[in-house]
Amino acid sequence: MTTTTRRATRARARPASRVNERGPAGARDAGPGAAGARVRRRSPRPHDDAPDTRLAFERIAKLPEGEERDRLCRDVTAAWLPMAERLARGYRGRGESAEDLSQVAALGLVKAVRGFDPGRGHAFESYAVPTIVGEIRRHFRDHLWGVHVPRRTQELRNRVRSARHQLAGRVDDRPPDEAALAEASGLSRQEVRQGLAALDSFRPLSLDAELNQTGDGPTLGDTCGVADPGFDRVLSRAAVRPTLRRLPERDQRVLYLRYFHEMTQAGIAERLGVSQMQVSRLLSRIERDLRERLAEVGVTG
């Protein structure tokens, strides 16, 4: 008997039950584990940190508010926490600590778990990712800007910033101008200028920041001006002039000699042909009247 004949004889003698146990091709050793593997192959996960919590969400949707529902929500949140931390890592290096970013992402995940409706037929990832990312961006917008900037300006800043990164690897190695940024971002030149101005508003410099790197140079605060007392004098003179014009001619002359020519009371007395005591009393009365009249129009000092 040849080898081919013996194989054919064994195949004919094999019990039907053993053939049926194998089932169709590719389904050998079928069991619970294999069935689960087939489900995973039909519905691949986009990331390794995306667990299968479909049944848990279905139970949560059916349960009323209470301890059991809260426990299931905590379990599902813990299962999806690695995904939230992965999303938070994408925003590092933007002025916020990694720990705070993880906490904000976890808060977004909790909101996503509480608000997800499995009855809509969508995967949890499609709902959770925008919820978590939105919470992180909201945190940056509301808490990290040193200067209050409208949301539209923040959006322009982000688009201009992305365009700058996109054009940073050009061959000529020159910084992109407004025209290039406008073309890359799809914005107008005016919007590009507004976005560029907002780039410096995220983290304003301290007044103690040095203008050079020597360690002993001037600071930004040294370049700030101070109030010039001359401005106050100009304002006071402009406010006093109408009141002075209403004084008698003799009072105007006394004030002019005393405060513009800086003459002494004795010199004024000699000029007017009166005693120094009379000049002293005259100046006191004029100054008192001036203060009362200026107080009526709201001028002090």
For 86-115, letters b (16+ CB in 10 Å) and e give ebbeebeeeebeeeebbebbbbbbbebbee
Question: How many helices (H) and strands (E) in the chain?
Answer: 14, 0
- All domains in the chain, ordered by first residue: 54-143 (1.20.120.1810), 151-204 (1.10.10), 238-296 (1.20.140.160)
Q: Tens of pLDDT along 147-175?
A: 666 778 778 888 888 888 888 766 566 77
The model's confidence at residue 92, banded by pLDDT at 50, 70 and 90, is confident
CA distance 14 to 12: 6
Q: Angle 151-167/189-199 helices, nearest 10 degrees? A: 90
Residue pLDDT, tens place only, 108-139: 999 999 999 988 888 899 999 999 999 998 88
Task: Please report which residue ranges of 144-228 form alpha helices under DSSP H.
Answer: 151-167, 178-185, 189-199
Is this prediction's pTM over 0.75? no
Looking at every residue in the chain, the average pLDDT score rounds to 76
What are 250's strand-pairing partners? none
Q: How many CB atoms lie within 10 A of CB 1?
A: 6
pLDDT, tens digit, 9 for 90 and up, residues 161-217: 888 888 876 656 677 888 888 888 888 988 888 888 777 666 666 777 777 766 677
Distance between the two ends of the chain, CA-based, in angstroms? 130
* Residue 27, pLDDT above cutoff 60: no
